[in-house]
Structure 1
């Protein structure tokens, strides 16, 4: 403190002590204002750092030599007269013990001594005594100011006692020209004229105001870096700022929690911020609420437990108070800065404060709040998901009749909307209630169906229990079929057959029509295994569409019969007609979702209607996606992949097959299961046609398909595709062995027709390379006979090409010419490209160079359209042999992307977020991120903003 009375002409320069983080601008403003000896009021919500800023100003002033009088007002001290004044002059109290004279308390300041050492009242009136005290205190202040610059600082002025406020008002009115600065802080709402604790007349005497608003992004980033010792991602900074709304106290508490949890301040950690609700924040909020009254406390805690922005009517209904009482409490809470109005609703100003306060509410009370909200919403006929959302926050059992109904309705609505996760949550909660066995069986069946979209093994457990508890033919049929579907996905065919067989026999004894529906699935499952195929085939051959009696079973029976027609290979029109009947409601009908319908689509492809098959599969993909059926989506997109392959659309085929495998992986269906074998093999075929032999071999190894294969019929297709790979690898003996084994196995199943597996033609082509022409011609003639009886141009053309290749001279050329013509009548572009190469090669060998070039150029063009680089290269080699110089393609940019990368980037360009893309494609978020990262690298771009231009505007699949 300066001792010279002549050093009071200005405030000494404050040293450059650091301001609280993010408050540098406000601190510098305060420094400038106080240097002018004015009165400054600092405002801001609780936790904004008002006290910290004020104490920094006090510390800086003291270090500069300024005399500082400091007081911190408290609500509990408000009843003590001149309580704040006593704090301001407490050093004088220490220097002047009772009864001892003090120079500052003598003379004009004698009356001020009454504040510190009150004596019995004299003859003066209270008003006169009060005036004398105020005058004495003012003289004392002037005397102190005469010795040097003086700063009077009061924290939380709203809690100051009335007598101290009178003195402060007296001082501010008479402080002009004195080297006295006055600095005070007030809490949220205290600057309003109606504030009871702080008269407006006092507030108006503060000529300057400094408001502490929310901390900005730069300040938050600095605090995060200080807490974690590393620079944070922008997304993490945004997350922290959103959670705390830039409130300094809350931000520090949150960052202590993030540091204790060892979070890395990156975008990946943002979601974990929602789980952090430090107890110290909850206690601080409670301290603020204590000043707002008991009704406000209950309202605030109810709003915190309800979360989000509940309507005021909902809060009032749960609290059980009148709307008027609740409105008064809400007004106080909004004024205090705890809550904010959002139209007819309320929300916490700081999300982390809401979570922290909710955590302090006893669990039993939290349950009562959520149950009360759910009950109120139920009586108001609110949407099912809103009611269920409250019930899911309870632990139960609640034992109220409406609870189970509300949860069941919510689950059904979620399933219909394609939200299986929402359905699973509602059903699991419902199953914690006391239920009759029949109702429990229904809910378990629904739960199993929903879990097929997330975890098939878990679905199996619940579906088993559902079947055990189910009652009635319809319920037992549904439960048995759903369980069998889940068992198929885990390759538990023996158990699936047992479930279907036992339940079907049980219902047949009762004369129930549902027995036939179960038998259809039983026959289909039996055909898939060699061990049971012979046993079910007689029943398959004798079935007739009339057996369905025109009822709902007609469609699945027609699907099975279309498969039978394709297996026999006698009448493609019959196969197509049965397939159309089967698919009247699509490939995955809502009333009868079953894999048996997939086979109707396969039958269409085998019968030469591949484009029709593609249309059905395409519609099924969209339907499964909308319904949220991951297993249905995987089956549908696998089927579409195969149809695309048959049509020579290899890029589309690869994208679909990869999407199917990713989806199956997401729900726990392993890569070695039969459900994965089909998309794996379709992808294998596409890779072989594209010349990606190393990738094809790796795919086989990953799926465990390089050695001896089990007897499931999906592996018949593996043998065919693996034979193509072995031939492309220069291993004709192994290729021939695979083709012949494919024929043996499919023949045992009764698949005489060549529509599915033209193994004879493929084996004949291998035999030609081995010089065994007679054996080749025998197989090719046999297949051509079967193909002509089947009457499908694609299969006839395939057999003609094989026989023409195995036949020397002009007869062979004529067969190859016919193959090209016949295949021109089909949609099998890839097969036609192969025939064109074979015909062109034969013409060149016969010396018909010009005709050869014409055929080979067509082959190159068609092969490139299909994306079949192997066939294109074969055609170009033949062209070079004729003396032609064809140009090869060079692939850059977009052409370097895999099919899956194309799909993901196209959806990103369409505006979907990574999470939306993952949901759309039924894959994990990490999968989407990996595909995008790989695509950015291949396209040579930094990220999304450049993606559209790099892709030249692709369309979303």
Structure 2
């Protein structure tokens, strides 16, 4: 069997696909083309195919492919296109089909020649042989057809049987004139015995129900094809064809969304992007609608002109209103009656430009909406937005919806400032600070009184903290100057001070807090106390101001703030004071929990003082208790969209994770904090950036990345003298650890002692915050200064035992044991392991294990050494502390062990052979089958499985698959 297609045959099984003019223009139409090829390759008589598709779906390109293929196969092809402007001219489409056949040489064809082709003549001349005069073409006497058409038809009738096959192609059949449709109806009804193929496309426009001739023709098309929108995969193929590179998935998805897969819109948009020199990446995806080319708008408005009298007005109203506005709202915005708007909306839906959404309508895709909106004159646009805002206000619509229109209205509309202010406050709560800043910028253009202007400036400044701290400072300062409301002034002063501190303008920030506190004290004592609390916390961070604020800090009492807005910030400050002065740890925890009862960054009070409660919990060994607060703060900051709050929350969590020994988590949080700060103009050398930089450096040191840690220290500008901010006390501790890892004990000791001197100068001599004495004691010992080492270690141990917090006691015991040595030192290290094993300080615990194993090896207690060193390797490996794990492994090798992995527990501890044996066992093989598979003895398999069970901490084979997890199939 062969398949006939014109005068060519195609072997069975071979795909017969028409050529693709324009190449990529037919991407996504392969199935439809193949079906059309199959239809054309069928019976040579009476085939009629109707191709459906919306505007821009590629119907014309599809037809061109069919025409080219038919001509290649020797068929005679005549082509015409319907046009709404010509739909009233009788036989306009027929004339297009046959005027090219009416050459001068054929005008004198003798009529006698028609006698042998009566059937053909009856078909092609049918409209002139029936009594329906309305279907006849216009002529001088009302009876004779246009000579051009008649000559073409005569020639066709004479030569039809000799042509082989005639392919009649009509594009946009919905716009064909009634006379041509009448003729086509007769042709289709009689074409079953003639070598004629009719292919037509039908797009949106006039409905068959409203057009009797069209309705009579459509049922005569026995074959139907539908050109739907391109799929996401087709969209990706088009992008590859146009750009020559694969697109980012987000870009592809956005292209498909904004164009609805419409080929015309997709090609137009992509060509515009290519002309602008943009690549198909994720950054471009957000800007797609900014590049809708003008020719799309022209094409859409041409469609609107043919869709109905009020279609353009309704389309413009919907485009400006946005979303899916109700027809009632559209009618009022467009100044139409509701009936006129409804009729126009129905016409737009029929035209494929819009879809129904309940009581409203929307464009089928955002690109169409943008194209229509771009064509609205500025004056018309302003009027539409103004009418829309008024209508929405009258209907008590959400303020955000109204504000979107007010942004584009002329200045002077009553009520605009109030609506925009409320919308800005709502946007801040929803985590859209950029939108809030936009609302307030617009509101400030209105004529305002001083108090209203102050409120808007403060709101704007608070919103800008998420995007530009310098800009926020400017507007908060001006708002604070204008405001006379104590509560509003307190809010502004705290926000302004925080912004100034972020820019390292500490004296200015302290001055703002102090002066505002004095100014509001008589009217609002609670607000004054909030400001005073903020002032005290900020003063503690500076060496020059810490001593002066200590007396007031020591006399502060929670009863002074009970029940007021200052209660939680005062509790945060008191928790920090209790930790500084070595009060009962339970009291520290109670204050901290009260302070954090609404979170680290509560929505009603985003003060930095709550970080003091987190620091206090860490100091009393309760970093695990602090972690949920820090994690919640990170999650909430991302919802709010504030880069400053996100940076502070990430930095806080980085510090908590570092205390818990979660090295890799701490590193990632530090990187996130630095990235967020950079977004808002807070540079890497700013005090807000110092803590995450220090945590990052410390994490790198613990991972053994010494060169990268040193490079980061250099990049952060932390290599030289450091100012008096208390965050630099921590930098000195971390820098000392780096110098020690670099083999520079003298430089490390200098940093540790400098850290201690600064801490004591802040009246924070206790061991809870920074363990500088143990680090300094170890450096003294490394330099051969045993007496100084033991003295520092003993001092730390006494202070820690006096306070009674297990973590500092364990850290002090570890240092004392390491510098004391001998049996006494070994006993201290055992105590350190016991104490730290019950705390959340997992890195300190791993250090103690490693030191105990090392001391035991030196004392010749190899079994004990092996046990502790293996535990140290496991603990350090689990934390990501590669440097410590490597040190413990080196000690094991000194004993004579030959460990092959960095851990002795878990899947990572398995040797390659243990992995293979356990994987086969997890798959269900017996021990004997495993032995045969691996060519080893049965006893060897048993030994490997026993070792595997121990390392994985399981009882036997039934638990093996679960313990191996996703690695079972890879072993």
Residue number in structure 1 paired with 2:368: 353
> Shift of the alpha carbon at 1:814?
5.5
For the Cα contact (< 8 Å) 2:137–2:145, is it kept in 1?
no
1:416 to 429, 435, 438: 429
2:782 corresponds to 1:757: no
User: Would you say 1:304 and 2:316 are equivalent positions?
Assistant: no
- Find the partner of 1:315 among 330, 334, 337: 330
* Distance in 2 (alpha carbons) for counterparts of 1:752 and 1:353: 69
Partner of 2:277: 262
Contact 2:654-2:692 within 8 A present in 1 as well: yes
Alignment of 1:708-723 (within 5 A): 708-723=721-736
- Residue matched to 1:376: 391
Output the CA distance in 1 between the equivalents of 2:908 and 2:464. 38
Cα 1:77/1:647, change in 2 over 3 Å: closer
Report the Cα offset of residue 257 of structure 1: 2.1
- Asked if 1:452 is matched to 2:465, the reply is yes
Of 382, 392, 400, the residue aligned with 2:414 is 400
Distance in 2, matches of 1:42 and 1:130, equals 30
**CA deviation after TM superposition for structure 1 residue 595, in Å:** 1.5
Deviation of 1:319 (Å): 2.6
1:680 to 671, 689, 693: 693
CA contact (8 A) 1:452 1:631 kept: yes
Cα 1:949–1:658, aligned 2, differ >3 Å: closer, same or farther?
farther
Asked if structure 1 preserves the Cα contact closer than 8 Å seen for 2:18 and 2:34, the reply is no
Find out whether 1:790 has 2:803 as its counterpart: yes
**TM alignment of 1:149-298, pairs within 5 A:** 154-169=170-185, 177-179=193-195, 184-188=200-204, 190=206, 192-196=207-211, 198-205=213-220, 209=224, 211-214=226-229, 224=239, 227-228=242-243, 240=255, 242-265=257-280, 269-298=284-313
Relative distance call for 1:203 and 1:487 in structure 2 (3 A) is same
1:46 alignment partner, one of 35, 51, 55 = 55
Verify the 8 A CA contact 1:396 1:432 in the aligned structure 2.
no
Q: How far off is 1:481 after superposition?
A: 0.5
1:538 aligned residue (551, 563, 569): 551
Q: 1:87 to 1:104 in 2, by over 3 A?
A: farther
Q: Does 1:599 align with 2:612?
A: yes
The residue aligned with 2:353 is 338
Q: How many corresponding residue pairs?
A: 882
State the Cα distance separating 1:235 from its structure 2 match.
6.6
Larger mean CA deviation between 519-528 and 71-80 belongs to: 71-80
Q: In the aligned structure 1, how far is the partner of 2:884 from the partner of 2:818? A: 16
The answer on whether the counterparts of 1:798 and 1:831 sit within 8 Å (CA) in structure 2 is yes
- Contact 2:323–2:362, Cα closer than 8 Å, also in 1: yes
| Structure 2: segments with no counterpart, 5+ residues | 10-16, 116-120, 910-961
* Residue 656 to residue 326, structure 1, CA distance change in 2 (3 Å): same
Distance 2:768 2:826 in 1: 25
Q: Pick the aligned partner of 1:142 from 157, 175, 181.
A: 157
User: Is 2:449 the counterpart of 1:436?
Assistant: yes
Residue in structure 1 matching 2:34, options 14, 25, 33 = 25
1:528-607 matches, within 5 Å, as 528-548=541-561, 551-569=564-582, 571-607=584-620
Q: 1:848 to 1:300 in 2, by over 3 A?
A: closer
User: Per-residue CA shift, 1:173-206, capped at 9, x if unaligned?
Assistant: 566645555555544355x542337353344455
Equivalent residues in 2 for 1:742-781 (5 A)? 742-781=755-794
CA distance in 2, matches of 1:839, 1:230: 59
- Offset of residue 587 of structure 1: 2.7
What SS is found at the alignment partner of 2:356? strand
* TM-score w.r.t. length of structure 1: 0.80
Deviation at residue 599 of structure 1 after TM alignment: 1.2
Report whether the alignment pairs 1:642 with 2:651: no
Deviation at 1:70, TM superposition (A): 5.5
Question: Structure 2 CA distance, aligned partners of 1:148 and 1:59?
Answer: 17
1:583 counterpart SS class: helix
**Partner Cα separation in structure 2 for residue 289 and residue 475 of structure 1:** 52
Higher RCO (CA-CA < 8 Å; seq separation 6+): 1
In the superposition, the TM-score normalised over structure 2's length comes to: 0.79
The secondary structure found in structure 1 opposite 2:290 is coil
Distance 2:20 2:771 in 1: 83
Q: Residues 164 and 475 of structure 1: is their aligned pair in 2 closer, same or farther, counting only changes over 3 Å?
A: closer
Q: 1:470 to 1:66 in 2, by over 3 A?
A: same
Rounded Cα–Cα distance in structure 1 between residues aligned with 2:35 and 2:285: 30
1:752 Cα deviation (Å)? Answer: 2.5
CA contact (8 A) 1:876 1:886 kept: yes
Q: CA deviation at 1:478?
A: 0.9
Q: For the structure 1 residues 436 and 846, does the alpha-carbon distance in structure 2 shift closer, same or farther, using more than 3 Å as the test? A: same
Kindly indicate whether residue 625 of structure 2 is the aligned counterpart of residue 609 of structure 1. no
Q: Which moved more, 1:52-61 or 1:751-760?
A: 52-61
Q: Distance in 2 between matches of 1:73 and 1:833?
A: 83
Q: Which shifted more, 86-95 or 416-425? A: 86-95
Structure 1 residues 137 and 712: alpha-carbon distance in aligned structure 2, compared to 1, 3 A threshold: closer
CA distance in 1, matches of 2:851, 2:61: 87
Deviation readout 1:491-544 (Å, 9 max, x if unpaired): 221221221122223334767442232122222222212222233333333434
Query: CA RMSD for the aligned pairs?
Result: 4.5
Give the Cα separation in 1 of the matches to 2:89 and 2:272.
Answer: 39
Instruction: Measure, in 2, the Cα distance between the counterparts of 1:856 and 1:89.
Output: 96
Q: SS where residue 274 of structure 1 aligns?
A: helix
Cα 1:132–1:524 change in 2 (3 A) is closer
What residue ranges of structure 1 are gaps of 5+ in the alignment?
1-9, 897-947
- Bigger mean CA offset, 642-651 vs 490-499: 642-651
For residue 194 of structure 1, give the secondary structure of its aligned residue in structure 2. Answer: helix
Structure 2 partner of 1:327: 342
Structure-2 change in CA distance of 1:354 and 1:658 (3 Å): closer
